[in-house]
Amino acid sequence: MSLLESLFDALRGGSGRMQKAGVEETETVRKIARALNELDTDRASYIAAFAYILGRVAMADLEISEDETRAMEQIVADRSGLPPEQAVMVVQIAKSQNLLFGGTENFLVTREFNEIADGTQKLQLLDCLYTVSASDENISTVEDNEIGKIANELNLSREALIRAREAHAEYLSVLRRPDGSGDQPESVD
């Protein structure tokens, strides 16, 4: 059975692992997954949700930069094993879906990812979210807050969020001086 046939089967009743978890696929995940026609349904759904959530953070400041796009493409290719041209396609679809349906799909897709990903995969996603946000060497407060929301929706601990954030602290705009340097201003006594 081809992936396309599997996806139509999944649309009628849900795929194996996702059906067991009681999760219905969102249209966003289905659209991206259809583009991954040689992968099994569960893997395609995982990649689709992963890419969408990367796009969610990139879009948090209402703009997805070229640096963020390239970072997303590289991450999707590296983490999924997809060829670069397929990773580009997945990212483009994820970006389009974020632009069109971000407000309504964000929680739904993240909830779906929460159901299909294990703890390690969730932590890897969290690190990737900071990597995408830091791709332009600046993690805005809006992006950082969105990552915090996603971590909460994935039921990740505050400690896990802090560890991921610390790994990218040099790019956090909230910790930078007004002149853009990463060092904290010295306190005046």
If the chain, 189 residues long, is cut into consecutive pieces of 10 residues, what is the mean pLDDT of each piece?
Answer: 34 39 58 71 89 95 94 96 88 87 87 96 97 95 96 97 95 68 46
pLDDT of residue 182: 52
Residue 54 in any domain: the answer is yes
Residue 114 in any domain: the answer is yes
- pTM for the model stands at 0.76
Please name the residue ranges forming H helices in the chain. Answer: 3-13, 16-20, 27-34, 41-58, 66-80, 84-116, 119-133, 141-153, 158-166
pLDDT of residue 35: 65
pLDDT of residue 44: 85
CATH number for the domain that contains residue 139: 1.10.3680.10
Rounded Cα distance between 149 and 88, Å, is: 26
Residue 161 in any domain: the answer is yes
Residue 181 in any domain: the answer is no
Report the 10 Å Cβ neighbour count for 26: 22
Residue 184 in any domain: the answer is no
Residue 188 in any domain: the answer is no
Residue 145: give the domain boundaries: 3-175
Report the 10 Å Cβ neighbour count for 146: 21
b/e per residue 86-112 (b: at least 16 CB within 10 A): bbbbbbbbbbebbeebbeebbebbbeb
pLDDT of residue 33: 65
Residue 189 in any domain: the answer is no
Residue 185 in any domain: the answer is no
Residue 12's alpha-carbon distances to 15, 73, 76, 113, 156, in angstroms, are: 9, 31, 28, 20, 31
pLDDT of residue 83: 86
Rounded Cα distance between 16 and 152, Å, is: 26
pLDDT of residue 67: 96
Q: How many domains does the chain have?
A: 1
Rounded Cα distance between 52 and 48, Å, is: 6
pLDDT of residue 76: 96
Residues, the chain: 189
Rounded Cα distance between 89 and 32, Å, is: 9
Residue pointed to by tokens 């340097």: 181
